[in-house]
Structure 1
């Protein structure tokens, strides 16, 4: 229970909780559900602007498509203009979150955008951070751009693309060597060379990310996605964590943190005007918002039927075999009406519900004094988050094991 008690204390945004508490004290239950729904979904409307710069052919468009989970020929796909250069910043919105935009910046040195006017023309202040793409190396223009960003106190990342080509070439030339050793040596050589060039240019870079734009799960792609989430301010961090679907351990852990910070909202919603008596429970409960939330957990962790089927097919196996090999703990029949009710009845919620409610009393005050379902729902949702995050992480490890092509 010590771990659970810690989670109860941390899993709430105090500013949001104060706004909800103040609303209840001033207006009672009138408009409360609408406010809670707004707080639950506010991440969708948080604007995030990511800028991508780099030389022609560095893979910006491919990355923009891949990170959004779409193809170049999709209606909202970034065109792969191999022989052309962007002459103005072009925004590409995420299909699941219109306010997350990836901006393809013009190439430095073009007639349309000289260095003297570059930062003014791209409106540099609007971007949350910048990704500087290089195809196996970085240019003087890249280093100039990075130095200007540093002087403006703007966050940026050096991203080297097409490293898969270098790895494949090294593997072909060293067929008798251990493939993993060849890959690691190749990546280390590339990274050391790039780090030296960055240092020689007197640019400070915490890390240089080596990726292939065709698959953001390979090499440093997961680490880059993790940084793109974690380096944002809290509101934007939550929005990015719940938007990006890169199947990687760090990303899943960030999603867990973001989802956990809204459990208290669903716990409150479960005890409002639609709550009713359910046989076997000692309190009134509205299951509808709880069911919607756990289905969102499935989608966020990539555990919905469509996502699991896609992964199983990519490994040439069945869904049942994938779940068995990944040691799935969650029985998804638990997440429908009857199965979810059994969670309330069997997960020892009565042993902890009062303690949870008591721990939230200083934060939410009288709002939860008559909401008997609050502590129980809070506990059930945290338990389900535990199970589904564990399932996702186990499946990630299994996919990595099966997908090893070295």
Structure 2
């Protein structure tokens, strides 16, 4: 048996992420335990890599369905588009209109993740979807979450649906979403200004929430039940409760589906981006392992390494943190700028596309620097296990640097857009 066939990672450098690296109930916990079991039964480098390749993108194959239901004109379609990161005029966007555009239920897959689907459902009690057969007609057991949307008060039909959802054996979760809140807040501020009231916007919003919660609890006839209510505007996803809604979906998702939501949500908000960074950071060891042992290696690099895996991961960082062409175009359009002008104004440091030559040069310099700082034993270790631990450290450090810079650019982008929008408000 060769040393490589008896390979085990050092105990102080375990594949499992540290406790403070794990999102609550993260998918990685389950996957790494499965990986450890696989390793015990198939103790070789090649089999480890095969398992890692399967784990890395396993979240893409997991189905996730969100039902969005409500009466005509409640803002369902706009909400679906906002949650998918699309504008009304984009290809694949849900049709928006005041008259009923969903006389039957329609599916809207996430533009980048086909198994992540939003379903636009008619409200309860329409001619084609009466209350008596509603749950059966919409195939209620299909959905992980229900978003009950209203642009006004929630009615008895909405409350009936919430109760029916909570009765289901598979325990779907249900959320009340009050839409078009920007219009309500504008009207409330105007009314209080006429009355010469000194209430702040935060106080007005809090009162609004208390009123809506009270109305729902009265209709439920149960003042002690814990309800999830979110006041949102699909036109202003960085304001009100839009971010809280996304993070609540993330928190409540089953462990195995949490990564799909993390990588599927697209709102440009700091808390969501922090979740994305944590999830991306947990992938770095996998990418390093896959890159070091890939047969498709680049001879220009001073250590065996596949540039392909590293390039692909950097591209994924930018897609997730809204720094790719599509993300920047969307952000720029929200403040009336061209993406090239936006990049200059934000003073972004991350390179739009890193050339192979630049990537190889950076990796070689970092490897030499990392190698020089290692102990003699660590340097010799790589000759016995056919696996260069210094190369692993080099790739992980390089990816972390790329992720940190991308995150700084994203945070600056969010601050810039927020300031632009706030300064444009009269």
Same-fold call, TM cutoff 0.5? yes
Equivalent residue pairs, number: 391
Q: CA deviation at 1:402?
A: 1.7
Mean Cα deviation higher: 388-397 or 200-209: 200-209
Aligned partners of 1:271 and 1:372 also within 8 Å: no
CA distance in 1, matches of 2:350, 2:213: 44
Change (3 A) 1:62 1:320: closer
Superposition RMSD in Å: 3.7
CA distance in 2, matches of 1:321, 1:7: 42
Q: Which of 119, 126, 133 lines up with 1:110 in the alignment?
A: 126
CA distance in 2, matches of 1:215, 1:209: 14
Secondary structure at the residue paired with 1:102?
strand
The residue that corresponds to 1:9 in the other structure is 18
Change (3 A) 1:77 1:26: same
Cα-to-partner distance string for 1:164-187 (whole Å, 9 max, x where unaligned): 112222344466999996533332
Mapping for residues 137-148 of structure 1, pairs under 5 Å: 137-148=153-164
Aligned partners of 1:36 and 1:269 also within 8 Å: yes
Q: CA deviation at 1:305?
A: 4.0
The residue that corresponds to 2:306 in the other structure is 286
The residue that corresponds to 1:384 in the other structure is 402
Cα-to-partner distance string for 1:17-44 (whole Å, 9 max, x where unaligned): 4655636973856677665444322222
Q: CA deviation at 1:92?
A: 1.6
Q: Which of 290, 298, 318 lines up with 1:298 in the alignment?
A: 318
Mapping for residues 59-74 of structure 1, pairs under 5 Å: 59-72=75-88
The residue that corresponds to 1:262 in the other structure is 283
Establish whether residue 338 from structure 1 lines up as the match of residue 357 from structure 2.
Answer: yes
CA distance in 1, matches of 2:325, 2:30: 36
Q: Which of 254, 271, 276 lines up with 1:250 in the alignment?
A: 271
Change (3 A) 1:112 1:8: closer
Change (3 A) 1:172 1:380: same
Q: Which of 211, 215, 220 lines up with 2:232 in the alignment?
A: 211
Mapping for residues 312-391 of structure 1, pairs under 5 Å: 312=332, 314-316=334-336, 322-323=342-343, 326=346, 328-332=348-352, 335-344=354-363, 345-346=365-366, 349-350=370-371, 369-370=387-388, 372-391=390-409
Secondary structure at the residue paired with 1:104?
strand
The residue that corresponds to 1:275 in the other structure is 297
Mean Cα deviation higher: 19-28 or 240-249: 19-28
Aligned partners of 1:353 and 1:375 also within 8 Å: no
Secondary structure at the residue paired with 2:118?
strand
CA distance in 1, matches of 2:90, 2:299: 48
The residue that corresponds to 1:92 in the other structure is 108
Aligned partners of 2:366 and 2:398 also within 8 Å: no
Q: What residue ranges of structure 2 are gaps of 5+ in the alignment?
A: 1-12, 23-27
Change (3 A) 1:57 1:305: closer
The residue that corresponds to 1:194 in the other structure is 212
Aligned partners of 1:65 and 1:78 also within 8 Å: yes
CA distance in 1, matches of 2:373, 2:135: 56
Secondary structure at the residue paired with 1:288?
helix
Cα-to-partner distance string for 1:120-151 (whole Å, 9 max, x where unaligned): 22222221111111113111111122222233
Change (3 A) 1:375 1:237: same
Change (3 A) 1:309 1:181: farther
Q: CA deviation at 1:65?
A: 2.1
